[in-house]
Amino acid sequence: MLVYNKIRTVPSNKNIISFFEDLFIEFKDTLNLRNDLYFNLMVAVTEGINNASGHGNKFDPNKNVTVELAANSSLIFCKIKDEGDGFNPKEVADPRDPENLLKDNGRGVFLMRELAKEFKVSNTENGTLVELTFEY
């Protein structure tokens, strides 16, 4: 049984995270999350949202990013959906490789994989869906 479940859809833009801040705070307060878990969750989720808006939707304000935050008694689920062309996460370069250390981008997928218990990417006919699962 879910103890929390909210969905929000926002047009893509460079400051998209600000449109989700109140949702994140409500989520933390409702679940009484520990600060360390909330930090890891926020790093992974904001990376996913920024990637969806920028890489997926190319900051096109006619394309949306949808975020679903849900939780049961032991797991947190986050779904991030864009309306872009999709990508293969296996093709994303490892930011720890020497040739990638000084690059300005390329860390988002790595961070989501490392911080979440589960990380899944699905390319759909109208965008990409990133699913993150956390234990709490």
Residues forming a β-bridge with 81: 66, 129
Pick from 60, 71, 65: nearest CA to 49: 65
Q: What's 72's domain CATH number?
A: 3.30.565.10
Element (H, E) at 128: strand 127-135
Q: How many domains does the chain have?
A: 1
Domain limits at 52?
Answer: 4-135
Question: Mind listing the pLDDT tens digit for each residue in 10-29?
Answer: 999 999 999 999 999 999 99
Q: Which two tokens stand for residue 57?
A: 């939707």
CB 24 within 8 A of CB 42: yes
CB 16 within 8 A of CB 49: yes
- For residue 51, name the pLDDT band (cuts at 50, 70, 90): very high
* Residue predicted with more confidence, 95 or 117: 117
